[in-house]
Amino acid sequence: MRVIAIVSPLGGSGRTTLAAHLATLLARQGQPCLAVELCAQNLLARHLGMQEPSALGWAPLAAAGQWWADGGFDNTDGVSVLPFGKAPPDAIEALHRQLQAQPRWLLDQLELLDVPDDCTVVLDTPAWPSPLAQAALRCADVVLVTLEASARACADPAGVQAMLHEAAAAPADQGVLVTRFDPRRISHREALQTLRQQWGEQLIPYTLHEDENIPRALARAMCVHSFAPQAQSAHDLQGVCNWLTGQRQAPSSMLVAGASRP
């Protein structure tokens, strides 16, 4: 079992979008894949086909001492999905206390799941330093950090490095992905240049462009590859999936810059 954690210290940087689409692309390649939502916003399952948020999920089951995998479902792309579910604040606080008392709790739960040995588990996390984001870093083999193309993403590289120091993944399996990039905006181009200087080879050689097709697909409970397979974002996300599967060098046509596709 390989565990991929999608993390960021920034809200709104595209963690859930990335987790849903990577899980879908891996499943379409025939890779057994489980997407686990560690964020109480309950948006991951909608990206993966659930029309309405479900009260049932792993968090309320875990809070009740029940088998948390019973809250999952399989979507039409073959992704197994574990939604967070609707858990009251006191249950979430209790879960955070349990994670502090048992740092391996999340890893132990994942290892108890009835999944194929070659399954890839994609963890959608709340913004770091949430206890669930910290737990995801401790059990991940691969870590992807999402940083939007903005001044705030450039403001604290030392803080992001401190976050990555918590990760169990080897440095070669830690990548930084620039998201929400609009090449028409000067501030985005300047932020991208700064992020390149800050992160060097750790910056994944693909960038997720701002694309209206992503929210349009979400409104239909779809991934963008199904809704608009020729969209720029679909192209970008395929590149990130290629990076995950070992294609670490991108052709020049895939590197950032230029105008977005329609």
Interval 71-95: pLDDT, tens: 889 999 999 999 999 988 998 998 8
Instruction: Using DSSP, state whether 84 is helix, strand or coil.
Output: coil
Tokens of 165: 């120091």
- pLDDT, position 262: 35
DSSP conformational letter for 204: E
User: What SS3 state is found at 92?
Assistant: helix
What's the pTM?
0.91
Dihedrals φ, ψ of 35, to 5°?
A: -105, 120
Tell me the pLDDT band of 248, cut-offs 50, 70 and 90: low
Query: Going from the N-terminus, what domains does the chain have, and what CATH number goes with each?
Result: 2-254 (3.40.50.300)
Residue ranges of alpha helices (H) inside the chain are 15-28, 44-47, 58-63, 89-101, 105-112, 131-139, 151-154, 157-165, 186-199, 213-219, 224-227, 232-244
In angstroms, the CA 57 to CA 62 distance is 9
Mean pLDDT of 114-129: 93
